[in-house]
């Protein structure tokens, strides 16, 4: 009877894989992730990244992870960040060690970061945000390294994200709501 269950499971798994497409054929990422700061556009990034891991080694915040098969074969071994788990502190060290330019070198100054870092863009869900529900919060604003440039607050510390947001994810990481009221929408694809 165990053999019959095993064979049935194997057939069911194969059918599920066939109906969803193989890992190599996926065109949409399986999870919402960010590339390291100042990474090239996704196709260029994938063609330049040599999977050396140096960006993750130098990251003082240890926010850079590396894909296994969860995002398809084309992403295998490439760096990514999950902002809700650990976000980028914009130290810009990853670009200093990237040997191929897949992650550009950027000076750690506000103007250079705003001009060159496009990891994503924060979006506030007003129906979840405490400040929009009449309770003062402002945690996302205080977490932002570009306060009053990328994000500013209004009445009751209601967050307003500007076009200068670089998508580091510190606001998402710090949000006390579950699910979070502010999320980074990635810049790949």
Least confident among 19-28, 95-104, 121-130, 162-171: 19-28
User: Confidence band (pLDDT; 50, 70, 90) for 16?
Assistant: very low
Least confident among 3-12, 57-66, 122-131: 3-12
Least confident among 18-27, 121-130, 149-158: 18-27
For the chain, percent of residues with pLDDT exceeding 70:
84
Mean pLDDT of 165-182: 96
Give the model's pLDDT for residue 71. 87
List, for residues 75-115, the tens digit of each pLDDT value: 999 999 999 999 999 999 999 999 999 999 999 999 999 99
Gyration radius (Cα) of the chain, Å? 19
Give the model's pLDDT for residue 158. 97
Q: How far is 52 from 129, CA to CA, in rounded Å?
A: 39
Mean pLDDT of 21-29: 45
User: Confidence band (pLDDT; 50, 70, 90) for 187?
Assistant: confident
List, for residues 128-163, the tens digit of each pLDDT value: 999 999 999 999 999 999 999 999 999 999 999 999
Peptide bond into 179 cis (omega under 30): yes
- What secondary structure does DSSP assign to 78-147, as a single string? -EEB-TTTS------HHHHH-SSSSB----SSHHHHHHH--SEEEEE-TTT-GGGGT----HHHHH-TTB
Of residues 33 and 20, which shows the higher confidence score?
Answer: 33
Residue 28's φ and ψ, nearest 5 degrees, are: -105, 140
Give the start-to-end residue ranges of the domains of the chain: 27-186
């Amino acid at each position: 009877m165990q053999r019959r269950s095993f064979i049935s499971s194997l057939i069911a798994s194969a059918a599920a894989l066939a109906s969803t497409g193989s890992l190599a054929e996926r065109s949409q990422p399986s999870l919402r992730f960010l590339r390291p700061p100042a990474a090239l556009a996704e196709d260029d990034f994938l063609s330049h990244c040599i999977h050396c891991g140096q960006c993750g080694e130098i990251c003082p915040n240890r926010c850079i992870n590396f894909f296994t098969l969860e995002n398809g074969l084309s992403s295998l071994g490439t760096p990514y960040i999950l902002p809700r788990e650990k976000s980028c502190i914009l130290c810009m060290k990853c670009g200093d060690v990237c040997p191929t330019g897949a992650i550009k070198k950027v000076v750690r100054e506000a103007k250079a970061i705003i001009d060159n870092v496009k990891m994503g863009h924060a979006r506030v869900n007003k129906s979840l945000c405490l400040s929009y529900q009449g309770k003062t919060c402002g945690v996302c604003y205080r977490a932002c390294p570009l306060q009053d440039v990328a994000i500013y607050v209004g009445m009751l510390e209601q967050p307003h994200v500007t076009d200068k947001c670089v998508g580091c994810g510190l606001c998402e990481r710090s949000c006390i709501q579950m699910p979070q009221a502010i999320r980074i929408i990635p810049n790949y694809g």
